[in-house]
Homo-oligomer: A and B are copies of this chain.
């Protein structure tokens, strides 16, 4: 998606250690018109797939998922990062490793909201190591529902997540695929 690539080139900030900050328009401050174009593009890609639910993970996936859901006219569910060992009610759960924060946490979704008949589109802002996406796929599979695919804003294609998930047979559509980046040379897309 040219619009997103151009925006990353213009306003993205690169830091040491492979960190790409897009927080002026994507995941701290949000350009709502850009979100609308992103949602429209996900609908172009997955609109024919009879999606019944959109699944994302807190926090920065929620806004993108909601604006995307307006095109699909289906509910959004966001997986919560669990703070407590004792979770009220029945939930699907899986483990996600955060490389940024250096720890493993549980994510949960209430069993009330994912059903065997559901066709689920997973939405997230970033795909790097694929741990969050793998965790979300497991939640859908545990519910006996179908993963239609994943819609990702920014994929770091030089990290293993995208290949890993595609090798599982899951369709992954990333609107901007970063091939390489450096503080000197900027961002190069696939």
A 89-122 binary contact with B (CB < 8 Å = 1; else 0): 0000000000001000000011011000000000
A 158-186 binary contact with B (CB < 8 Å = 1; else 0): 00000000000000000000000000000
Binding site for B on A (CB under 8 A): 23-24, 28-33, 35-36, 58-60, 62-63, 65-67, 69-70, 73-78, 80, 83, 101, 109-110, 112-113
Q: Which residues of B contact A101 (CB under 8 A)?
A: 83
CB-nearest residue of chain B to A58 = B59
CA distance A59 to B65 in the complex (A): 13
| A interface, over-half SS | mixed
Q: What's the minimum C-beta distance from A37 to chain B, rounded to whole angstroms?
A: 12
Instruction: Evaluate contact between B80 and A59: CB separation under 8 angstroms.
Output: yes
CB-nearest residue of chain B to A25 = B75
Instruction: Evaluate contact between B73 and A32: CB separation under 8 angstroms.
Output: yes
**Interface CB pairs A-B, < 8 A, 22:** A24-B112, A28-B77, A28-B110, A28-B113, A29-B76, A29-B77, A29-B110, A29-B112, A30-B66, A30-B75, A30-B78, A32-B66, A32-B69, A32-B76, A58-B58, A58-B59, A59-B59, A59-B80, A60-B62, A63-B65, A66-B67, A67-B70
User: Quick one: given A59-B62, A66-B63, A67-B66, are A75 and B32 in contact (CB under 8 Å)?
Assistant: yes
The 6 closest A-B pairs by CB, nearest first: A58-B59, A63-B66, A30-B76, A59-B59, A29-B113, A32-B69
Q: What's the minimum C-beta distance from A3 to chain B, rounded to whole angstroms?
A: 16
Q: What's the minimum C-beta distance from A123 to chain B, rounded to whole angstroms?
A: 12
CB-nearest residue of chain B to A83 = B101
Counting chain B CB atoms within 10 Å of each CB, the highest count among A32, A60, A70, A101 belongs to: A32
CA distance A110 to B74 in the complex (A): 33
CA distance A112 to B62 in the complex (A): 22
CA distance A69 to B67 in the complex (A): 10
